[in-house]
Amino acid sequence: MSDEKPLTSIIVPVYNVEKYLDECLQSIVSQSYTNIEILLIDDGSLDASGDICDEWSIKDSRVKVIHQKNAGAAAAKNTGLRNMSGDLFVIVDSDDILASDILLEQWNVMKETGADIVESELIKFNDGSELPYIRKIEEVLETFNAEQALAELMQNRKLHQTPVCKLYKVQLAKKVEFVPGTYIDDEFWTYRIFGNAIKIVKFPRAGYFYRQHSSSTMGRAYSVNRTVILDAFEQRIYYMEQRFPELVLIAVRTYLGTCIYHYQKLCEFSDIKESSLYKAKIRTNYKKVYKKYGTSNMDLKKRIRFIMFRLCPEGYCKINLLLGKGK
């Protein structure tokens, strides 16, 4: 890559965030990396968010606003992907905050390493509190090929599922869109983006501040909507089978373990409407995947766990709840 900084598109899906939007956008327009376009996708907001977007487009020529009928966060992000003009892109949630130099630092890492994706650290903070202090650490870069990165991603170790706090090359996202209408859309998207990359670099610099509040996905109480992750993980098994067969075992193991987690949650919150229907679906799909792939190549502890759940899911999860395990 040349020394010239490429145009970077910053996609910000916006819906009913009038309380937080100005702070988010101020952190974006104040980036030390200035060659940016800021795509604000107003997804039919019912509060003043749309007006705030328009005001920012007047104040800063780099801001472009697209108003659309409410179709959900995934559809808003897809609108951003379809309308971006940059060679690189990032995604920012409209209630979060960026450190002023994070985009420049990510670009410098990308330029130096030739990475297709640079992931930095996400720091959570509670709404109403000050931004946490970032302790200076030795920033050692770690490099992964696609297969290595996907293994880390699926096991939620050094690389993570969330599409934010990452700088991407635009070509990775061609023909890869978010799935509209899903509660947790990133679980269907990020692994396919990683699968298109040649080199992914983890840059342990904390520069993305994730705001936790009652309306944020991470801040909400458990909901059956979260079980949609099982559809994403099942699709991921078949994707690995086609593209990265060495990773099928990890994909299956993660899927089976996540089935157990959500089944236990449904046992814990037994008053949830239609919980029995969701549990029946989990049992059916668990048995289907278990029968097709088995557990013979897994370690003994996991094999025993998965066999016990297959034989008696209700009893297994209720015993875990009594013992305080897996919550």
Q: What is the mean pLDDT of each run of 10 residues along the chain (327 residues)?
A: 83 97 98 98 98 98 98 97 98 96 97 98 85 71 98 93 97 95 92 98 94 66 91 98 98 98 93 90 98 94 96 96 83
Q: How far apart are the first and last CA of the chain?
A: 47
Whether residue 76 contacts residue 84, with contact meaning beta carbons closer than 8 Å, is answered with no
- Would you state the pLDDT for residue 131? 77
Residue 164 amino acid letter: V
- Would you state the pLDDT for residue 123? 92
- Would you state the pLDDT for residue 214? 64
58: its two tokens = 């007047």
- Would you state the pLDDT for residue 1? 46
Residue 240 amino acid letter: M
Residue environment code for 117-129, b if the CB has 16+ CB neighbours within 10 A, otherwise e: bbbbbbbeeeeee
- Would you state the pLDDT for residue 304? 96
- Would you state the pLDDT for residue 281? 97
pTM for the complete prediction?
0.92
**Under the phi-then-psi rule, with left for phi > 0, alpha for psi from -120 to 50, and beta for the rest, what region is 177?**
beta
- Would you state the pLDDT for residue 137? 62
Choose among 147, 138, 154: nearest CA to 203: 138
What sign does the dihedral 316-318-324-327 (CA atoms) show? positive
- Would you state the pLDDT for residue 211? 93
CA distance 321 to 327: 7
- Complete DSSP assignment for 233-298: HHHHHHHHHHH-GGGHHHHHHHHHHHHHHHHHHHHHTTTSTTHHHHHHHHHHHHHHHHHHH-STTS
CA distance 149 to 160: 9
Choose among 135, 105, 85, 95: nearest CA to 31: 105
